[in-house]
Amino acid sequence: MGRVKNKITITVNGSAHEVQAEDETPLLYVLRNELNCVGVRYGCGVGQCGACTVIVDGKALQSCDLSVVAVAGKTITTIEGIGSLENPHPLQQAFIDEQAAQCGYCATGIILTAKVFLEDHPHPSQDEIKQALSGHICRCGTHQRIVRAVEQAAQKMRLTP
Amino acid sequence: MSTTLSPRPLPGSLQTNRFLNQWLSIHAEGYVTMRPGKVEIGQGILTALRQIVAEELDLDLEKIRVQTAVTALSPNEGVTSGSLSIQDSGSAFRQVAAEVRELLLSKAAAHLSESVEQLSVKNGLIRSRSGASVSYWALTDEQLLNQEATGQASPKSAEEHVVVGTAAMRMDIPAKVTGVASYVQDMSMPGMVHGRICRPPSYEAELKSVNLEPVRVMPGVISVHRDGRFLGVVAEREEQAIRAQLALTRAAQWSEVPTLPPFNPRYLLKAKAQSECISQKGQVLFSPESSVHEAEYSRQFLAHASLAPSCAIALFEKDRYTVWTHSQGIYPLRREMAVVLGVEEDQVLVHHVEGAGCYGHNGADDVALEAALLARTLPGRAVRLQWMREEEFAWEPFSSAMVAKTRATLSAQGMITHWQMDVWSHGHSSRPGRSEGSNLLASWYLEKPFKRAQTSNPPLPGGGSHRNAIPIYEFANQQINNHLVPDPPIRSSALRGLGSQTNVFAIECFMDELALQAHCDPVSFRLRHVKDERARAVIEAVALMASWQSLQPSDGVTGRGVGFARYKNGAGYMAMIAEVQLAETLQVKNIWAAVDVGQIINSDGLKNQIEGGIIQSVSFVLKEEVKYDAMRITQANWEDYPVLNFTEIPQVQIQLINRPHLPALGAGEGTQGPVAAAIANALFHLSGTRLRDMPLTRERIMAAMA
Ligand code: FES
Ligand code: FES
């Protein structure tokens, strides 16, 4: 309909996609419904819970709070882009090893924030990890295991950079 | 034949779902399917049930697949709630698997011309001492499990267990952390469209006018639906549905009246209540009056606040509905949906698909009906409907506010001689399918509305608002009264633990207050009043874990407090010690917990559940209360309803006391009360300030200290 203007192209997990949605559509819905990146989760839609976190040009950002036009031409990484069931990222493996999930709905966003954080903080303290994750809500109370998983991943990533 | 025998009692849900093939299938291809009627809600139940089956059938876990619950296929196990899944479903599976193993062994014995005693099983392969072998997969046939359980086979003894009791890894976590579609929110089907609902501004608001036409012509909008006060939109794309929802909300004109109670649970004391004495021992006479100690405790309404707003997908085709839902009770939901949709139950097929953690009765069932109501207008197209965050915060059923009053007298020797507690609350359940009328939100807003079913309490000994109101301590004279206020002005239902949080908070805080009067250490004071060995064991264990020093004063920086309960008076024993500090707000630094839930099925799963329960409880106690004014629920997001943040979590240490010979009891819900009391007691230890109203916010602490 009339409001669709120029087609927007975004780069997600290494490949370019022409977006069908209208400009002001939150990136979240484009990722989930057009590109099938369902590991990007809706939790609040107003930037308060972190469930929808993705990496945009190296920064962990909340995709519910970004319009798709604002990320045109930028490089986006979602949870699907960092590892898979067969070949999990060290952070994903650490979450499995530590059994750091109850419902697990918060996990994907947290892992992406942790990934960006560990790049600048290879030797994080527990307090630094908690601070880094303070934009994320985990309603199940899995925090302690999540912090341990991030610690464990940091250690492994230091050994095999 | 077994079917001609009079029904004998069978364990757990097997009693009402008696056929072996309702629970298990053995496939010639080399695997077993198990069909629990209980559902995964982030508690790891499917992994624990799988361990039980693997144990009895001598199979590796990998050989067992789980069919998630679906009506028409899975045994009807009611609702997944009350930490009952291991009791209901676990005991059924254990018996079924033991019987299936016997059937397979006797068939193998005939096949190999050996006696059953000569046979052993390893991962589905049955061997005789002479070396001959045959597998489960070769022996199975369609009819083998098509028979009733007999109750005759004996499951393994605890000594024989090699899978049960171990920390088997959760089967669902790898998919969840790699972003594989795991939740109903993630499902998609061909031609699927997106629905949204336009809500009234308050429960009783009347729709004065709404012009649907401008919304109908918005981009992507397929249909705009009005049935009485129920307004919904369906659009091709999710963001289009959300825009249409906003437009519709702006277009609708409502008139409202104030119907909500004062923002203080004490309104319950003046409300019309159904009062009942639920425990009476000895005398209730308190004399002389002057020696009576009294206190009054309360808590506000609490929200489940699942991280994922409720979601469902519904498809209406050829007079039949198919629904995908994260409901905790697919059969009760089906019954209630059929009533509201005006069809027979077998015209509604309900599939369970996981959602995020729900912690009780949230919007899951409501959204399933709403999706079906929208799907009815678009036959053949699957409609996905997800509540927005603000809808979840305003429309889910909350956990009732409560007030508890306690009275007691002490003997000169520092023993409690008389004890009385009175509890005021709304009912703690309004789940679907349980009573007259309907409990599905949208049904009350239709042109032909359904009567709202009353909230009620599950009966004792589990109880609802009176859950854990009867103390485990042994007092010579006691009276416990429950005052149930029906018809809550704020929609209420089941949240993890039901009334136990407030009741245990009251009992355990009051125990500390009395210990102080008796100049006795709080831990010793509790032990003085309890004989049950398992109760004593957890209290003693937690004191040891935390290096509790009798009557040690606070150092002025940290305070410590203890809390104890036996959940539902018949389930797990939990004792906790909390360590707190006061800064800007009250901070919980450490929690030690000693836990006895009988036989442990999965030690790590159990710890995970208890850790989660503890941290969530800390959040309840420190921060949580549903915000409302005279007219409306006024909370829309996480700023209005803050929960515990990563930077605020305590260090949690748990000690499990395994009782391999005792029945396995659920674990997820027992923590709430002991945590609440331990924190309030620790605050008193630190500051000398006794806070009896939850949540223990900065404002309340400042006011109490002033
Ligand atoms: S959904 Fe984006 S922050 Fe909550
Ligand atoms: S594990 Fe459920 S929200 Fe974090």
pLDDT 10s digits, B581-622: 999 999 999 999 999 999 998 999 999 999 999 999 999 999
Question: What is the pLDDT at residue A1?
Answer: 43
Nearest-CA distance from B172 to chain A in Å? 9
Q: How far apart are CA B661 and CA B664, in angstroms?
A: 9
Q: Are B399 and B265 in contact (CB under 8 A)?
A: no
SS in 3 state form for chain A?
CCCCCCCEEEEECCEEEEECCCCCCEHHHHHHHHCCCCCCCCCCCCCCCCCCEEEECCEEEEHHHCEHHHHCCCEEECHHHCCCCCCCCHHHHHHHHCCCCCCCCCHHHHHHHHHHHHHHCCCCCHHHHHHHCCCCCCCCCCHHHHHHHHHHHHHHHHHCC
Whether B21 and B42 map to the same domain: the answer is yes
Inter-chain contact A96–B651, Cβ cutoff 8 Å? no
Whether A107 and A65 map to the same domain: the answer is no
Please check whether residue A1 lies inside any domain of the structure.
Answer: no
Inter-chain contact B179–A78, Cβ cutoff 8 Å? yes
Q: How many pairs of residues across A and B have Cβ atoms under 8 Å apart? A: 183
Q: Work out how many domains chain A is built from and give that number.
A: 2
Please check whether residue B273 lies inside any domain of the structure.
Answer: no
Check whether B286 has a pLDDT greater than 90.
no
**With bands split at pLDDT 50, 70 and 90, how would you rate the model's confidence at B694?**
very high
Partner residue facing A95 (CB), from B172, B173, B647 = B173
pLDDT 10s digits, B349-363: 999 999 999 999 999
pLDDT 10s digits, A50-61: 999 999 999 999
* Chain B residues lying within 8 Å of A21, measured CB to CB: 237, 239
Tally Cβ neighbours within 10 Å of residue B655. Answer: 16
Q: How far apart are CA B200 and CA B445, in angstroms?
A: 9
For A126, phi and psi rounded to 5 degrees?
-60, -40
Please check whether residue A54 lies inside any domain of the structure.
Answer: yes
Q: In this structure, which ligand is nearest to the CA of B43?
A: 2
A3 touches chain B (CB under 8 A): yes
Q: How far apart are CA B194 and CA B238, in angstroms?
A: 5
- What ipTM was predicted for this assembly? 0.96
Check whether A96 has a pLDDT greater than 50.
yes
* Strand ranges, E, within B327-400: 348-352, 383-386
Whether B130 and B222 map to the same domain: the answer is no
Q: In this structure, which ligand is nearest to the CA of A51?
A: 1
Q: In this structure, which ligand is nearest to the CA of A42?
A: 1
Which residues, in sequence order, are CB contacts of B663 under 8 Å at separation 6+? Answer: B87, B91, B598, B599
* Strand ranges, E, within B485-616: 558-566, 573-582, 586-596
* Chain B residues lying within 8 Å of A96, measured CB to CB: 169, 173-174, 177
Average pLDDT of the residues in B147-160: 92
Whether A105 and A74 map to the same domain: the answer is no
Average pLDDT of the residues in B511-538: 98
Please check whether residue B123 lies inside any domain of the structure.
Answer: yes
CATH number at residue A73: 3.10.20.30
pLDDT 10s digits, B311-325: 999 999 999 999 999
Q: Show the ligand 2 pocket: residues with CB < 6 angstroms.
A: A 101-106, 138-140, 142; B 42, 307, 356-357
| CB of A44 sitting under 6 A from ligand 1 | yes
Whether B250 and B370 map to the same domain: the answer is yes
Nearest-CA distance from B34 to chain A in Å? 21
Whether A98 and A152 map to the same domain: the answer is yes
| CB of A62 sitting under 6 A from ligand 1 | yes
* Chain B residues lying within 8 Å of A99, measured CB to CB: 169-170, 173, 604-605, 608
Mean pLDDT rounded to a whole number for chain B: 94
Whether A106 and A52 map to the same domain: the answer is no
* Chain A residues lying within 8 Å of B355, measured CB to CB: 103
Q: Give the range of the structural domain holding residue B243, as residue numbers without chain letter.
A: 184-257+305-395
Inter-chain contact B186–A102, Cβ cutoff 8 Å? no
Q: How far apart are CA B67 and CA B69, in angstroms?
A: 6
Whether A76 and A100 map to the same domain: the answer is no
Please check whether residue A150 lies inside any domain of the structure.
Answer: yes
Q: How far is the CA of B574 from the centre of ligand 1 (A)?
A: 35
Choose one of A19, A50, A80: the last residue of a domain.
A80
Choose one of A80, A107, A130: the last residue of a domain.
A80
Partner residue facing B611 (CB), from A80, A103, A144 = A144
Q: In this structure, which ligand is nearest to the CA of B644?
A: 2
Q: How far apart are CA B94 and CA B154, in angstroms?
A: 9
Please check whether residue B213 lies inside any domain of the structure.
Answer: yes
Please check whether residue A135 lies inside any domain of the structure.
Answer: yes
Q: Are B327 and B374 in contact (CB under 8 A)?
A: no
Choose one of B175, B204, B223: the last residue of a domain.
B175
Strand partners, A16: A11
Whether B237 and B105 map to the same domain: the answer is no
Inter-chain contact B356–A139, Cβ cutoff 8 Å? yes
Please check whether residue B201 lies inside any domain of the structure.
Answer: yes
Check whether A3 has a pLDDT greater than 70.
no
CATH number at residue B40: 3.30.365.10
Average pLDDT of the residues in B499-517: 98
Whether A17 and A63 map to the same domain: the answer is yes
Check whether B433 has a pLDDT greater than 90.
no
Inter-chain contact A21–B172, Cβ cutoff 8 Å? no
Please check whether residue B497 lies inside any domain of the structure.
Answer: yes
What is the number of the ligand 1 atom nearest to the C-alpha of A47? Answer: 3
Both tokens assigned to B34: 């198990």
CATH number at residue A133: 1.10.150.120
Q: Give the range of the structural domain holding residue A52, as residue numbers without chain letter.
A: 6-80
pLDDT 10s digits, B469-478: 999 999 999 9
Whether B560 and B524 map to the same domain: the answer is yes
Choose one of A35, A54, A80: the last residue of a domain.
A80
pLDDT 10s digits, B83-115: 778 888 999 999 999 999 999 999 999 999 999
Q: How far apart are CA B32 and CA A115, in angstroms?
A: 39
| CB of A48 sitting under 6 A from ligand 1 | yes
A23 touches chain B (CB under 8 A): no
Mutation target to probe the A interface, by most A beta carbons within 10 A, among B239, B393, B496, B646 is B646
Q: Work out how many domains chain B is built from and give that number.
A: 3
Q: ∠ at Cα B362 (B450, B464), nearest 5°?
A: 85
Which is it for strands B293-299 and B693-694: parallel, antiparallel or unpaired?
Answer: parallel
Q: How far apart are CA B292 and CA B198, in angstroms?
A: 54
Which residues, in sequence order, are CB contacts of B147 under 8 Å at separation 6+? Answer: B2, B3, B19, B20, B21
Please check whether residue A75 lies inside any domain of the structure.
Answer: yes
Strand partners, B312: B325, B385
Weakest mean pLDDT among B228-237, B447-456, B619-628 = B447-456
CB neighbour burial string for B428-453, b if at least 16 within 10 angstroms, e if fewer: bbbbbbbeebbbbbbbbbeeebbebb
